[in-house]
Amino acid sequence: MIESQDMAILLTLSIIMQARAVLVDMECGVVNNLMSGPIGELFDSRQTITDVSGAGNNWAHGNAVYGPQYREAITESVRRTVEFCDSLQSFFLLHSLGGGTGSGLGSYVMQLLSDEFQDVYRFSAPIIPSAQDDVVTSPYNSILTLNALTEYADCVIPMENQALFDITTKIAEAKGAKKGTAVTDVTLPGGKTPMPWDQMNQIAAHVLGNLTSGMRFEGSLNVDLNEITMNLVPFPRLHFLIPSLAPLCSFSDVNFEPRSLDQMFNDCFHRDFQLIKANPRASKYLAIGLLVRGDVHIAEANRNINRLQKDVDMIHWNQEGFKVGLCGTPPPGQKHAILGLSNNTCFKETLGAIHGRFNKLYRRKAHLHHYTEFIEESDVTDASEGISSLIEEYSALEGAVPPEEGPERFRPAF
């Protein structure tokens, strides 16, 4: 749950001493490791829900079997956590798309939250598997989950494994950083190479920390999560926001020359700083959010927006579609930080790539029998058609041009 003055962590968010989170996994190893690790004391052991066998990388098993089986326990845990909130703002679901629990049970939980807490915003931060994912059924799981998120989430901030891995690879391979070079070109003292998974998780954590900073710290122009959905989601189904981050890392064992504020604004619009393998600058922006942390005056932010506005292709009915947040407290070890959130038609490329991998399996009905044990084949085809429709909606907006005369037929639902 996300509450004002709270810090985001897992299914929900964190307070000063203990996380307001419900940890759910149908294979208990990860949760057990977390609870016995260095941050285990942050979590309430009574708020963990686990099984033993796992969902077998099968969306249908996680959704149709474990969902109903654990519905009452999950609902009760969420309600118990909500009771401690003085100003509940939203739920945040952190999950993967490729496996069985994160995808199938994650979809079930999102629908459960929609049913039980209709008036509370539902955010999702899913991890999109790469094309080289070792889970052969991940295309099925991804399509089914994305279709559920389209229907039941209010806002989705996806991060792609391949984009995160590429960023950490640049960090690990860099031999030296000179003044003015990108934050991805850094020096690792003594040849030390941090584990890529640690860095990938660190980047994802920075996204969520910056996203919720306006509720946790003072600022001259703070932004709450409800303002994100209000200003950056013009159509209910098109609520996928592509995150970018500058700087990309702040590890204590990495030495780099800090970027200037102007450079960091530029970085947020550069494909190397996007956490999705897509290029928004080559597509059409529907809306843009820039959440700035540190001692930054609104005049500096406006100057940079006016400078960048000339170079981005905004949809014709939302030429002024920039939302700016200013939080006075920077992340630890940094002078400034910027989180960019782009509602951009280029997300159809990501959807199209996933759908293409799905079609390669589905044309041969490969592995489909594992799913039809628990759900109807029509559920799979409906999800596929739902994502195809979403791609078409993005494509139509990318090709939209200003009308020559008369009122437009469709307007954004601000």
pLDDT tens-place string over residues 130-189: 998 889 999 999 999 999 999 999 999 999 999 999 888 877 766 454 433 444 444 444
Query: Cα–Cα distance between 392 and 396 in angstroms, integer?
Result: 6
Question: Can you give the pLDDT at residue 226?
Answer: 87
pLDDT band for position 257 (50/70/90)?
low
Q: What is the pTM of this model?
A: 0.88
Higher pLDDT, 374 or 259: 374
The whole-number average pLDDT for the span 384-397 is 97
Query: Cα–Cα distance between 414 and 397 in angstroms, integer?
Result: 16
pLDDT band for position 344 (50/70/90)?
very high
pLDDT band for position 63 (50/70/90)?
very high
Q: Are 117 and 85 in contact (CB under 8 A)?
A: no
DSSP state of 63: I
pLDDT band for position 214 (50/70/90)?
confident
DSSP string, 188-250: -GGG----HHHHHHHHHHHHHHHHTHHHHS--TB---HHHHHHHH-SSTT--B-EEEEESS--
Domain ranges of the chain: 167-344
Query: Cα–Cα distance between 77 and 11 in angstroms, integer?
Result: 11
Element (H, E) at 292: strand 285-294
Q: 26 Cβ partners below 8 Å, 6+ apart?
A: 50, 51, 53, 54, 55, 62, 66, 100, 101, 105
Tell me how many helices (H) and strands (E) the chain has: 14, 13
Question: Can you give the pLDDT at residue 412?
Answer: 47
Q: Are 39 and 7 in contact (CB under 8 A)?
A: no
pLDDT of 276 > 80? The answer is: yes
The whole-number average pLDDT for the span 191-214 is 80
Q: Is the peptide bond before 247 cis (omega within 30 degrees of 0)?
A: yes
Topology, domain 167-344 = Rossmann fold (3.40.50)
The greatest distance separating any two alpha carbons of the chain, rounded to the nearest whole angstrom, comes to 66
Q: 166 Cβ partners below 8 Å, 6+ apart?
A: 277
Q: Which residue has the tokens 């306006």?
A: 214
Tabulate helix, strand, coil % of the chain (nearest 5): 45, 15, 40
The whole-number average pLDDT for the span 365-373 is 97
DSSP state of 94: E
Q: How far is CA 205 from CA 17, 23, 35, 339, 387, in A?
A: 18, 16, 18, 12, 28
Query: Cα–Cα distance between 232 and 323 in angstroms, integer?
Result: 8
The whole-number average pLDDT for the span 284-305 is 95
Tokens of 229: 């959905």
Q: Are 126 and 97 in contact (CB under 8 A)?
A: yes
Q: Which residue of the set 27, 151, 227, 300 is catalytic?
A: 227
Question: Can you give the pLDDT at residue 250?
Answer: 53
DSSP state of 259: P
Whether 227 is catalytic is yes
